[in-house]
């Protein structure tokens, strides 16, 4: 499964202005509600917020990667936002975050979930890739950047 299989233009938002980490997470869950694929939105939101309270998913370099496996989704789904003003996220490098990728997988599909986690992590490790995402003018452009990079770097 590719990253572009779990995203679509209704689950990608660029150049957002969200003042806090929780605002960003709520916004992303709302995007996923609109996208479809979630059986229990309240459960998903509670799970994401609970995980953040235990340990931040801010991995560094301006990137956060909230993720969970749950029976509250009917298929793997993802959401991506870029922020014009970074938010405090308690990231591992103590720097604010301006790219957030949320991934929700099914508990019964651990292998697929782990492969998607790995694919996203490998792409987001590139400074150039993150910069291109931040400069994307639309959700469609962000998806095109991801698809292109995924084919070039991960599908060799």
Q: Where are the domains of the chain?
A: 3-151
Q: What is the mean pLDDT of the segment spanning 23-27?
A: 95
> Which residues face 104 on adjacent strands?
68, 77
Does residue 128 sit in helix, strand or coil? helix
**pLDDT tens readout for residues 41-97:** 899 999 999 989 899 999 999 999 999 888 888 888 999 999 999 999 999 999 999
- pLDDT band with cut points at 50, 70 and 90 for residue 156: very low
Cα–Cα distance measured from residue 85 to residue 18, given in angstroms and rounded to the nearest whole number:
8
Q: What is the pLDDT of residue 155?
A: 63
Q: What is the pTM of this model?
A: 0.93
Cα–Cα distance measured from residue 105 to residue 94, given in angstroms and rounded to the nearest whole number:
27
Cα–Cα distance measured from residue 97 to residue 113, given in angstroms and rounded to the nearest whole number:
23
User: Selecting from 2.30.42.10, 3.40.50.20, 3.40.50.720, 3.40.930.10, what CATH number does the domain 3-151 have?
Assistant: 3.40.930.10
């Amino acid at each position: 499964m590719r990253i572009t299989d779990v995203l679509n233009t209704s689950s990608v938002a660029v150049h957002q202005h969200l003042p806090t980490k929780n605002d960003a997470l709520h916004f992303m869950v709302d995007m996923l509600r609109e996208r479809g694929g979630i059986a229990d939105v309240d459960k998903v939101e509670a799970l994401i917020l609970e995980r953040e309270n235990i340990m931040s998913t801010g991995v560094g370099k301006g990137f956060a990667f909230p993720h969970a496996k749950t029976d509250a989704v009917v298929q793997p789904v993802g959401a991506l936002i870029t922020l014009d003003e970074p938010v405090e996220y308690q990231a591992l490098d103590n720097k604010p975050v301006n790219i957030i990728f949320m991934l929700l997988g099914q508990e019964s599909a651990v292998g697929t979930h782990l492969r998607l986690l790995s694919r996203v992590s490998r792409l987001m490790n590139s400074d150039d890739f993150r910069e291109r995402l931040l400069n994307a003018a639309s959700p469609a452009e962000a998806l095109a950047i991801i698809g292109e990079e995924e084919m070039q770097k991960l599908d060799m």
